Amino acid sequence: MSTPNNYFQPDFSGKFGKYGGKFVPETLITPLKELEETYFQLLKDDNFNKELDKLNKEFSGRPTPLTFAEGLTNYYKRAKIYLKREDLCHTGAHKINNALGQILLAKKLGKKRIIAETGAGQHGVATATVCAKFGMKCFVYMGEVDIERQSLNVFRMKLLGAEVIPVSSGSRTLKDATNEAIRDWVTNVNDTHYIIGSVVGPHPYPMMVRNFQSIIGFETKEQIQIAENRLPDYIVACVGGGSNAIGIFYPFLNSGVKLIGVEAGGYGINTNKHCATLTLGREGIFQGMKTYLLQDNDGQVSEVHSISAGLDYPGVGPEHSYLKDEIIADYFSVSDEEAIKATELLSQKEGIIPALESAHAIAYLEKLTPSTAKDEIIIVNVSGRGDKDLYTIKNFLGY
């Protein structure tokens, strides 16, 4: 795994600057250490790297294409727009990149039982998929609100042989599902591996998940060199926990390419119904990490909202908090309504129906393109496809 210039890995305590770390109950300290050691062993293990490469190629269908978006480029009449097509991955989103890496890790650790949390259901489906392939028992924690709005993905998980455990605490969405999964892990850590779905949680997860997802960026770098013989000017990706964004950003850190993360603005960032963590949050400790967090004056985690279940999360990966403070990447937000408009636009100009999460990145083109020139290049990461969101989109548009 090559490392960008002038960019530091997390330190021995798992910190990116002051963010990250391991804020966990003592029972998890040893398992996290074991996980980290096994992960570093595997990185140097040719068989592991070969097996993961083969799975990425023959099971997920990688490399995913980099598509020139001619319709969108002609529509905005400014920079050339390219799309990185994670929507074409097996199971329909980038989540499988991480799930495959972690299932191999779980096998190496000798674990028999897999747990995961899920919001949109994409990570649950990816985890259920790799568990089916590797013959592991799979339990997926999911908030009741998400179970309702993502019922098709719930059925997919069940069909794949996983058990979906409904979570009825708190806002009954992703953060509550994550809390329950952590509780399960603390109790069953001897035989259980927890496949976290984004670059969040205690060290080594944010680093490990980022490395598994950085295949997106490494492919993109090669593909744009072939297509344009140079690097792009901008890379745009949506940010929930931040794994698809850091996955495509990572090989471009400190390369001069402008990196833009787009958060969910929900009903608007002047309301209290949004998930604009990096825009409006402040430092806090949450789910094992120190990071930007949406919280009230007493430090209680806020109830957040996004039309997109995968972005409906009050925290963000600690590396993004670091990249924001250091101004290595910039973060903005777009509203539910803007995301829906972008979904229609991409569908009608390109013939690609994006996931609502990815539509947030597309929506930012509306703000970005006017200040770009025709000889510039923008790459947008299309993190997933929209099949899972069709009911939500249909309801919003009143069909």
Ligand X SMILES: *Cc1c(COP(=O)(O)O)cnc(C)c1O
Q: Is 248 one of the binding residues for ligand X (CB under 6 A)?
A: no
Among 11, 20, 5, which residue's Cα sits nearest to residue 291?
20
H or E element that contains 3: none
Burial of 189 (0-12, 13-18, 19+ CB in 10 A): middle
Contact partners, residue 254, CB within 8 Å, separation at least 6: 4, 5, 6, 7, 328
* Least distance between ligand X and beta carbon 336 (Å): 15
* Least distance between ligand X and beta carbon 227 (Å): 24
Strand-pair partners of 93? 384
Q: Is 240 one of the binding residues for ligand X (CB under 6 A)?
A: yes
Q: Is 307 one of the binding residues for ligand X (CB under 6 A)?
A: no
According to CB under 6 A, which one of 60, 129, 220, 243 is a site residue for ligand X?
243
According to CB under 6 A, which one of 138, 355, 359, 365 is a site residue for ligand X?
355
According to CB under 6 A, which one of 384, 389, 392, 393 is a site residue for ligand X?
384
- Which pair of structure tokens corresponds to residue 237? 């990706």
Give the nearer residue to ligand X in terms of CB position, either 216 or 257. 216
| Whether residue 388 lies in the annotated active site | no
Q: Is 241 one of the binding residues for ligand X (CB under 6 A)?
A: yes
Give the nearer residue to ligand X in terms of CB position, either 321 or 372. 321
According to CB under 6 A, which one of 198, 220, 333, 372 is a site residue for ligand X?
198
Strand-pair partners of 290? 20, 285
Distances (CA, A) of 83 to 58, 60, 88, 218, 237: 22, 18, 11, 15, 10
Give the nearer residue to ligand X in terms of CB position, either 220 or 383. 383
Give the nearer residue to ligand X in terms of CB position, either 97 or 171. 97
Give the nearer residue to ligand X in terms of CB position, either 63 or 317. 317
According to CB under 6 A, which one of 95, 149, 210, 305 is a site residue for ligand X?
95
For residues 299-326, one letter each, b for 16 or more C-beta atoms within 10 angstroms of the residue's C-beta and e for the rest, the string is eebbebbbbbbbbbbbbbbbbbbbbbee
Give the sign of the dihedral formed by CA 187, CA 120, CA 196, CA 242: negative
| Whether residue 95 lies in the annotated active site | yes
Q: What is the DSSP letter of 257?
A: -
Q: Is 10 one of the binding residues for ligand X (CB under 6 A)?
A: no
According to CB under 6 A, which one of 28, 93, 147, 160 is a site residue for ligand X?
93
According to CB under 6 A, which one of 238, 334, 342, 346 is a site residue for ligand X?
238
Instruction: Identify whether 4 is preceded by a cis peptide bond (ω within 30 of 0).
Output: no
| Candidates 31-39, 53-61, 134-142, 351-359; binding stretch for ligand X (CB under 6 A) | 351-359
Q: Is 120 one of the binding residues for ligand X (CB under 6 A)?
A: yes
Catalytic residue among 111, 357, 383, 388: 383
Give the nearer residue to ligand X in terms of CB position, either 63 or 78. 63
| Whether residue 117 lies in the annotated active site | yes
Among 84, 118, 107, 33, which residue's Cα sits nearest to residue 312?
118
How many residues sit close enough to ligand X to count as binding (CB under 6 A)?
21
Give the nearer residue to ligand X in terms of CB position, either 120 or 334. 120
| DSSP state string for 75-138 | HHTSSEEEEEEGGGSGGGBTHHHHHHHHHHHHHHHT--EEEEEESSSHHHHHHHHHHHHHT-EE
Answer for the pair 197, 317: CB distance below 8 angstroms, yes or no: no
Catalytic residue among 95, 175, 290, 349: 95
| Candidates 46-54, 67-75, 248-256, 354-362; binding stretch for ligand X (CB under 6 A) | 354-362
Residue nearest to ligand X (CB): 384
Give the nearer residue to ligand X in terms of CB position, either 78 or 156. 156
What span, in angstroms and rounded, lies between the C-alpha atoms of 377 and 79? 5
Among 133, 98, 300, which residue's Cα sits nearest to residue 212?
98
Catalytic residue among 36, 117, 263, 338: 117
What span, in angstroms and rounded, lies between the C-alpha atoms of 232 and 65? 16
Q: Is 346 one of the binding residues for ligand X (CB under 6 A)?
A: no
Among 319, 315, 57, which residue's Cα sits nearest to residue 209?
319
* Least distance between ligand X and beta carbon 199 (Å): 6
* Least distance between ligand X and beta carbon 198 (Å): 3
List the catalytic residues.
95, 117, 383
Interface residues with ligand X (CB under 6 A)? 93, 95, 120, 122-123, 198, 238-245, 310-311, 355, 357-358, 383-384
